[in-house]
Amino acid sequence: MEELITLDYGSGGKKTSRLIGEQILPRFKNAALEALGDGAIVPGGEKLVFSTDSFVVDPLFFPGGDIGKLAVCGTVNDVAMCGGEPRFLSCALLIEEGLPMETLERVLSSVQAACEAAGVQIVTGDTKVVEKGRGDKLYINTAGFGPLRFPGLSPKAIREGDRVLVSGTVGDHGAAVMLARTGMGQDAVRSDCAPLHRMAAALLEADLGVRVLRDPTRGGVATTLNEFIEGTDLGIRLREEDIPVAPPVRAACELLGLEPLYCANEGKLLAVVPPESEQAALALLRSFPEGRAAAAIGTVTAVRPGTLVLRTRLGAGRILQKLTGAQLPRIC
Amino acid sequence: MEELITLDYGSGGKKTSRLIGEQILPRFKNAALEALGDGAIVPGGEKLVFSTDSFVVDPLFFPGGDIGKLAVCGTVNDVAMCGGEPRFLSCALLIEEGLPMETLERVLSSVQAACEAAGVQIVTGDTKVVEKGRGDKLYINTAGFGPLRFPGLSPKAIREGDRVLVSGTVGDHGAAVMLARTGMGQDAVRSDCAPLHRMAAALLEADLGVRVLRDPTRGGVATTLNEFIEGTDLGIRLREEDIPVAPPVRAACELLGLEPLYCANEGKLLAVVPPESEQAALALLRSFPEGRAAAAIGTVTAVRPGTLVLRTRLGAGRILQKLTGAQLPRIC
């Protein structure tokens, strides 16, 4: 039977991985792409980090942000997580015919404010308009790059005994967008959408032996941690009681049938650090407003290779796989 | 009355210019963006050229190319026209739910072949899937960059008496896509979609004093030449009998009510050169298969500042403005 692309393929979970692994990597073989970070480190006189993302979030505006802010922060964060200093962005607008000009203006002003806040510049762009019914109001692609400041970050650097840190509460963005989509909740849950490059740079400058950084967007913390240990002989054990979840996010997730560990974040980073750096790294993250709820949430083990296990409050061990299916389509 | 975005805003003509001038430039003020080339030259240890385009061509496959080949060539050419050596590309897929996997595979194989032919690498990417009816099969964004090899190219360098060269027949891509859309013509007209960076580099290396290069895509030759002289005290006079148009393209344009000078090209470049370089530049262009029909089509004058005038076969002078309205929506 003819295979059709379903929404699952865009979930950031298992099907997305399969699509990339089967259709994309075999065609475009090169070391930079195969590292499969959210950005690529490319050679040259000065090494650069390069990243791209398309943003298709629905609705365009949600508590805590909008597609414009998201499009800047998402690419800034991807470059930063690869050890780059984000500097220059492209911005390509894909507009559905009939979009009110006022909506476009609001989004562009938000892009502008986000660029100013992050200290990056839009230096090139593109504008396409498609017929009504061939898009959905507005999609934005940003690509971005900047010099590689901190080389060597990689899931391959992770060692047994390392600690897993998260820079704050999990699931805020996913819960905020899903609530906004239902029309419930109003401002009870706000997206965490924020640029993380300054906090990331401070952490990397502090010489704490950080193994890898990643912002757990689509697919959430559980999917990102699975990607870290996939195909390795290491596992990760999370402690449920240590995972910071804001009470309104927990309530929203229960209402909507979501698991916060699979909910997208847009202003949080995961860091894996050696055990001796745990306290210093936490203190450093907490010194930033965007990291004040930072927590150590798990440990790297050699007990169950390739497996992410959540030790629940009741003491049971629950295996968390990569996101399967489209829990949250068009979350970013 | 509330202003809505219409298809005109994506035509690459006057409304697109207005949108960029009123909504985008005022918000993102910086010298690289304001140069308004199809790419940006960004500072750094080594200067780089950076460009992005989203491709929304309908249909996905057309004689001479497809959206995948177009997405590679389009960005390769934009970087090359700015004097850059295209090296690294991003590739972001925006897929409509229900796309046959086989279609995606064909397009990705075409992206692969185009990258190999152009000698560039896809180093980072993104995959998003939107619900049925919120896209149209497949859109692709590519961004690309590479080192600036030939600085100083700019419409500002154009002088009175300079010659306008085109590297081959005009309107092929636009006519091919429009014919494919109607279901007429079959293979009679083929898109010229091709990478131009090698021919461009040869022209720039030859020390011929090239003022500016540009690939006349959306909006065609007439729109690009208008952009060169906009707001200057120079005009351009074209001679109709010198403009190469392939007979099937001319026939297709007559059938479809199109003007070849406003039809998109995806494998042609416009070069403005000093008069003393005209013959050497033409000979050089013609030494490449993709430039074998190169021609000198016009002269820069001081007679009608800011105006592009076509001297017709009958001796009349016809003013060609920038494309107004959406002559060819979703042509690239």
pTM of structure: 0.92
In a domain, B329, yes or no: no
Judged by CB atoms closer than 8 Å, whether chains meet at A129 and B7 is answered as yes
Contacts of B327 in chain A (CB under 8 A): none
In a domain, A96, yes or no: yes
What residue of B is the nearest CA neighbor of A141?
B141
Q: Are residues A20 and A109 in the same domain?
A: yes
Judged by CB atoms closer than 8 Å, whether chains meet at A54 and B111 is answered as no
Spatial distance between the Cα atoms of B32 and B40, rounded to a whole number of angstroms: 5
Judged by CB atoms closer than 8 Å, whether chains meet at B92 and A52 is answered as yes
Spatial distance between the Cα atoms of B277 and B260, rounded to a whole number of angstroms: 27
ipTM of the complex: 0.91
Q: Give B45→chain A minimum CA distance, Å.
A: 7
Contacts of B45 in chain A (CB under 8 A): 45-46, 147
In a domain, A229, yes or no: yes
Interface A-B, measured as beta-carbon pairs within 8 A, has a size of: 267
Ranges of chain A whose pLDDT falls below 50: none
Mutation test of the interface with chain B: which of A11, A52, A82, choosing the one with the most B Cβ atoms within 10 A? A52
Per-residue pLDDT for chain B (332 aa), expressed as one digit of tens each? 678 888 778 777 777 778 778 887 888 777 767 766 666 776 666 788 999 999 999 999 999 999 999 999 999 999 999 999 999 999 999 999 999 999 999 999 999 999 999 999 998 888 899 999 999 999 999 999 999 999 999 999 999 999 999 999 999 999 999 999 988 767 889 999 999 999 999 999 999 999 999 999 988 999 999 999 998 999 999 999 999 999 999 999 998 889 999 999 999 999 999 999 999 999 999 999 999 999 999 999 999 999 999 999 999 999 999 887 665 778 89
Contacts of A39 in chain B (CB under 8 A): 124
Mutation test of the interface with chain B: which of A95, A101, A141, choosing the one with the most B Cβ atoms within 10 A? A141
Spatial distance between the Cα atoms of A288 and B281, rounded to a whole number of angstroms: 58
In a domain, B133, yes or no: yes
B27 touches chain A (CB under 8 A): yes
State residue A185's pLDDT score: 65
Judged by CB atoms closer than 8 Å, whether chains meet at B52 and A125 is answered as yes
Which of residues A124, A147, A170 is at a domain's end?
A: A147
A180 touches chain B (CB under 8 A): no
- Name the β-bridge partners of A94: A128, A139
State residue A54's pLDDT score: 95
Q: Are residues A200 and A313 in the same domain?
A: yes
Q: Are residues B191 and B305 in the same domain?
A: yes
Contacts of B11 in chain A (CB under 8 A): 129
Does the CA dihedral A25-A27-A33-A37 come out positive or negative?
Answer: negative
Q: Are residues A142 and A159 in the same domain?
A: no
Amino acid identity at A128: K
Mention every residue, 6+ apart, whose C-beta is less than 8 A from residue A38. Answer: A51, A53, A78, A81, A82, A214, A215, B124
Residue A259 structural domain: 155-319
- B250-289 in b/e form (b: 16+ CB < 10 A) is ebbbeebebbbbbbbbbbbbbbbbbeebbeebbebbeebe
B168 touches chain A (CB under 8 A): no
Spatial distance between the Cα atoms of A276 and A292, rounded to a whole number of angstroms: 20
A18 touches chain B (CB under 8 A): no
B155: closest CA among B80, B235, B261?
Answer: B235
In a domain, A252, yes or no: yes
Residues 91-120 of A with CB under 8 A from B: 91-102, 104-105, 108-109, 111-112, 115
Residue B20 · residue B11 · CB < 8 Å:
no
Question: How do beta strands A121-130 and A235-239 pair?
Answer: unpaired
Contacts of B71 in chain A (CB under 8 A): none
Which of residues A95, A126, A147 is at a domain's end?
A: A147
Mutation test of the interface with chain A: which of B2, B3, B4, B5, choosing the one with the most A Cβ atoms within 10 A? B5
Q: Are residues A177 and A300 in the same domain?
A: yes
Q: Give B74→chain A minimum CA distance, Å.
A: 12
Peptide bond into B147 cis (omega under 30): no
Q: Are residues A126 and A232 in the same domain?
A: no
Contacts of B8 in chain A (CB under 8 A): 129
Judged by CB atoms closer than 8 Å, whether chains meet at A92 and B53 is answered as yes
User: For residue A13, what is the DSSP state?
Assistant: S
Shortest CB distance from B129 goes to which of A2, A9, A147? A9
Q: Are residues B133 and B167 in the same domain?
A: no
3-state SS of A113-175?
HHHHHHCCEEEEEEEEEECCCCCCCEEEEEEEEEEECCCCCCHHHCCCCCEEEECCCCCHHHH
State residue B30's pLDDT score: 76
Write phi, then psi, for B300 (nearest 5 degrees).
Answer: -85, 130
Specify the CATH number for the domain of residue A27: 3.30.1330.10
Q: Are residues A251 and A283 in the same domain?
A: yes
Structure tokens at B327: 């002559």
B42 touches chain A (CB under 8 A): yes
Does the CA dihedral A7-A33-A299-A269 come out positive or negative?
Answer: negative
Shortest CB distance from B54 goes to which of A3, A94, A329? A94
B324 touches chain A (CB under 8 A): no
User: For residue B325, what is the DSSP state?
Assistant: S
In the numeric block, the tokens 């019914």 are attached to: A133
In a domain, A285, yes or no: yes
Q: Give B123→chain A minimum CA distance, Å.
A: 4
Whole-angstrom CA distances from A297 to A239, A250, B118 are 6, 17, 47
Q: Are residues B173 and B308 in the same domain?
A: yes
Q: Are residues A22 and A125 in the same domain?
A: yes
Shortest CB distance from A28 goes to which of B2, B39, B115? B115
Shortest CB distance from A130 goes to which of B38, B91, B136? B136
A305-329: per-residue pLDDT in tens? 999 999 999 999 999 998 876 657 7
Q: Are residues B257 and B306 in the same domain?
A: yes
Shortest CB distance from B123 goes to which of A42, A101, A330? A42
In a domain, B327, yes or no: no
Judged by CB atoms closer than 8 Å, whether chains meet at A50 and B125 is answered as no
Contacts of A52 in chain B (CB under 8 A): 90-92, 124-126, 141, 143
Judged by CB atoms closer than 8 Å, whether chains meet at B90 and A121 is answered as no
In a domain, B330, yes or no: no
Specify the CATH number for the domain of residue B300: 3.90.650.10
**How many structural domains are present in chain A?**
2
Which of residues A129, A147, A165 is at a domain's end?
A: A147
Residue B90 · residue B45 · CB < 8 Å:
no
Judged by CB atoms closer than 8 Å, whether chains meet at B95 and A9 is answered as yes
Contacts of B96 in chain A (CB under 8 A): 5
State residue B43's pLDDT score: 65
Q: Are residues B197 and B265 in the same domain?
A: yes
